[in-house]
Structure 1
């Protein structure tokens, strides 16, 4: 069997309903409303998303991180449910700081199982996740007062300098790829090219086994704005590594420890689907 077939079987066997529906939409032309339906179970009455949509914390409360994951799934499915997303944007507006920035999580996560890396560092508003969420809302064609405020805040933050953390820089690249002001966004391409090797948690070496964001995270498809930052050799090296990292059970392993067995399988399903998307995009 091919890497694709074994990965597909892993998702069907071990993945959540959400990843199964998204796989069917992306690779089997299934109706994308199935992805929306799967996401409904994670949306709270306040409009935000929770319930471990991002599997590393099992908190049911609405968190910006889970809102971002919901938007990522909608974008991947090529589907936007405007009432669902507008309610999430209303929640962002109600919980954001005065300048529009949001934090990844809140102290609510402390009452529930979570991976060790989720702690109070995630309670401060920042480019991670504000820039990523704003970029996804632009990608989905949403108009909302919070998005206007958040967009201006992101531009102001970038004028002060690029972030030093790989995850935050990744969020910035999502924002810049989809924000309507294309001339202003393109002006950051070369500064990011120069800055990228200096940020923490950036894994440039395809043979480095440690956790980190890689060129394929920044450029998951050949058409990405950020593909130009990397040589063909860099991209091919990481594609080869990605294919080699597939496990005998068909899924991809994690380089961190989720809070339990269910969370581990859920996140492996997420990462397996992402790996299949990237490998297919570059094939």
Structure 2
């Protein structure tokens, strides 16, 4: 369990290291802080085109809008209970301007104009991708959006999922995010069952496995609801939760196992992931409400 002492340590870590927006999220979820403070902290990351940049995605240090930060923005607005905020419409309008055949690219060529992690690479005319289109479409279906971008994006996602046979880990996250919220539940169920085995093959079950950029059961199942949870036994989930509690570091935070390519991103990612890990532990009853 995450008791009061462990939560106090996490709060101290957040104060010392985390971005304002993640401190506001921590305060809201675990200290009764105001939801409106999350939305207010998000505003400086929004651009005039309705998209988000300004290092909202820590590994994209540029000011300009990119597709992946839009995921963070929608999630933070949802946490704040601000699904009807005008920023959601502005963001959807932005997505419509960068769509390719219904989907948005993983990253736009403007990434080259500013420092970025080495894996953010793209051709000059990038195609739409299930990453991040699946996650974005799932987030918008979750809130019942009627924006015109969502219809073509949904068809794009179904086509990508129908064509998938061995999705990569980040594609799996996007697929699950879409399937969890897609209105056609029968089709979602069938797609999940077809992809169940290849999804499992991408997961590391040993919570203490060495190496970087591994993907564990709780990454696919951060909460007990949703398709991701159905991939794993109760025993596996409990083992992973035990390991997640023990992964809290002495400084109170959790960490990431992927490459830290410039020093600033480590505390930013750790602040973000600390909130996410605590949310997961609470969702599974390992942190008292």
**The TM-score by the shorter chain falls in which range?**
over 0.9
Q: For residues 1-283 of structure 1, what are the structure 2 equivalents within 5 Å?
A: 2-97=5-100, 99-120=101-122, 123-199=126-202, 202-210=203-211, 211-282=213-284, 283=286
Instruction: State the Cα deviation string for residues 100-147 of structure 1 (Å, max 9, x = none).
Output: 111121222223222222222794421011001100111122211111
Aligned residues: 280
CA RMSD of aligned residues (A): 1.9
SS at match of 1:48: coil
C-alpha displacement at 1:261, in angstroms?
2.4
Q: Deviations over 1:136-175 (max 9, x none)?
A: 1111222111111100111122222345201111111000
1:36, 1:81 within 8 Å by CA — same for their partners in 2? no
Question: Bigger CA drift: 19-28 or 171-180?
Answer: 19-28
Question: What is the CA distance between 1:204 and its match in structure 2?
Answer: 2.7
SS class of match (2:144): coil
Q: Tell me if structure 1 keeps the 8 A contact 2:166–2:198.
A: no
Whether the 8 Å contact between 1:57 and 1:259 is mirrored in structure 2 is no
Greater CA drift, 126-135 or 255-264: 255-264
CA distance in 2, matches of 1:255, 1:168: 19
Partner Cα distance (1:34, 1:17) in 2:
10
Q: Which deviates more from structure 2 when the two are superposed, residues 24-33 or residues 10-19?
A: 24-33
TM-score, length-normalised on structure 2?
Answer: 0.90
Render the CA deviation track for 1:217-243: whole Å, top value 9, x for unaligned: 221112233212101121122212222
**Counterpart Cα distance in 2 of 1:103 and 1:11:** 32
Structure 1 residues 191, 77: closer, same or farther in 2, change over 3 A? farther
Distance 1:85 1:281 in 2: 26
Unaligned runs of 5+ in 1: none
Unaligned runs of 5+ in 2: none
Partner secondary structure for residue 264 of structure 2 = helix
Shift of 1:81: 4.0
Deviations 1:80-109 (A, max 9, x none): 243101101001001111x21111212222
